[in-house]
């Protein structure tokens, strides 16, 4: 049985092209993203994987001289059409960045930030939301006694989990992670990986990674990008054991990249 037909697509990318000025960064990408799965995006540096993940919440629009064409369907709606409400899109499609980037505020204020701007104002409700988000990010026990101290005093791994808590505090549908562990030590990395596997119950996760073991451990599906093209995408087991394309095979075997 093919998983592909059984599950709902949350994103459906068709014929997507992205240019930075005259540089053709993504070429005719066709990729479905399934609900409640972890999709890993792998590929060597400069292959377009970060560009791709940034198109999913339209963060790419903040890059100068960027152009896009094709279809980027999120829940049946083409995000490349005019008049997409970025505020509500990003409430539904959250993003965690390469390096933990907490605001210079208290731990509590960092997590309460998203819910607050999306209209939550009752203290009780905020406190519950913050606690739940921190628990979901496996951070609650480490910070519960110092919620009102600066988030910048946390370790790198804690900061990254705080950023995940901050993102899931707004209850998004999708969580985009752009190399979330590349700046972390192995222990913090394994915590984030475990977290990603837990979170897919409630969220759809798209994770860019340059670490193939990570993709193999964490993801359900893997897409391999090379020089702006999507070479192959399939269930992770298949990509890592019997890929269709020799370039994929060479990359996952560590022969280049």
Nearer to another protein, 167 or 219 (CB): 167
Question: Among residues 40 and 174, whose Cβ is nearest to another protein?
Answer: 174
Per-residue tokens: 85: 């409400």
For residue 109, the minimal CB distance to another protein (Å) is 7
End-to-end Cα, the chain, rounded Å: 33
Listed residue (161, 160, 167, 153) closest to 104, CA to CA? 153
Reference 38, options 224, 196, 241; nearest CA is: 196
For the bound state, the minimum distance from the C-beta of residue 257 to another protein, rounded and expressed in Å, comes to: 26
CA distance 237 to 187: 24
- Measure Cα distances from 153 to 2, 157, 178, 210 in Å: 47, 12, 23, 28
Q: For the CB of residue 177, give the shortest distance to another protein in the complex, in Å.
A: 11
Q: Which is nearer to another protein, 171 or 238 (CB)?
A: 171
Positions in the binding site for another protein (CB under 8 A): 57, 59, 62, 64, 86-91, 94-95, 97, 99, 101-107, 109, 113-114, 117-118, 148-153, 163, 166-167, 170
Q: What does the alpha-carbon distance between residue 254 and residue 140 come to, in Å, rounded to a whole number?
A: 38
Q: Which is nearer to another protein, 148 or 255 (CB)?
A: 148
Write down the least CB distance from residue 73 to another protein, Å: 20
């Amino acid at each position: 049985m093919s998983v592909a037909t059984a599950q709902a697509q949350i994103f459906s990318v068709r014929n997507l092209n992205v240019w930075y000025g005259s540089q053709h960064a993504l070429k005719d990408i066709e990729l479905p993203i399934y609900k409640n799965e972890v999709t890993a995006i792998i590929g060597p540096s400069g292959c377009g994987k970060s560009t791709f993940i940034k198109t999913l919440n339209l963060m790419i629009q903040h890059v100068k001289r960027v152009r896009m064409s094709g279809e980027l369907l999120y829940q049946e709606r083409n995000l490349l059409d005019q008049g997409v409400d970025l505020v509500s899109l990003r409430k539904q499609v959250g993003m965690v960045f390469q390096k933990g980037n907490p605001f210079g505020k208290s731990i509590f204020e960092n997590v309460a930030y998203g819910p607050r701007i999306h209209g939550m104002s009752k203290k009780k409700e905020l406190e519950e939301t913050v606690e739940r988000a921190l628990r979901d990010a496996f951070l609650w026990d480490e910070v519960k006694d110092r919620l009102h101290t600066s988030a910048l005093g946390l370790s790198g791994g804690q900061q990254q989990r705080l950023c995940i808590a901050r993102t899931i505090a707004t209850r998004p549908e999708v969580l985009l992670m752009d190399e979330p562990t590349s700046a972390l030590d192995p222990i913090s990395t394994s915590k984030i990986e475990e977290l990603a596997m837990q979170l897919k119950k409630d969220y759809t996760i798209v994770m860019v990674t340059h670490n193939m073991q990570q993709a193999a451990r964490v993801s359900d599906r893997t897409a391999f990008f090379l020089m702006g093209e999507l070479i192959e995408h399939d269930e992770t087991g298949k990509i890592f054991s019997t890929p269709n394309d020799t370039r994929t095979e060479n990359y996952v075997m560590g022969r280049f990249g």
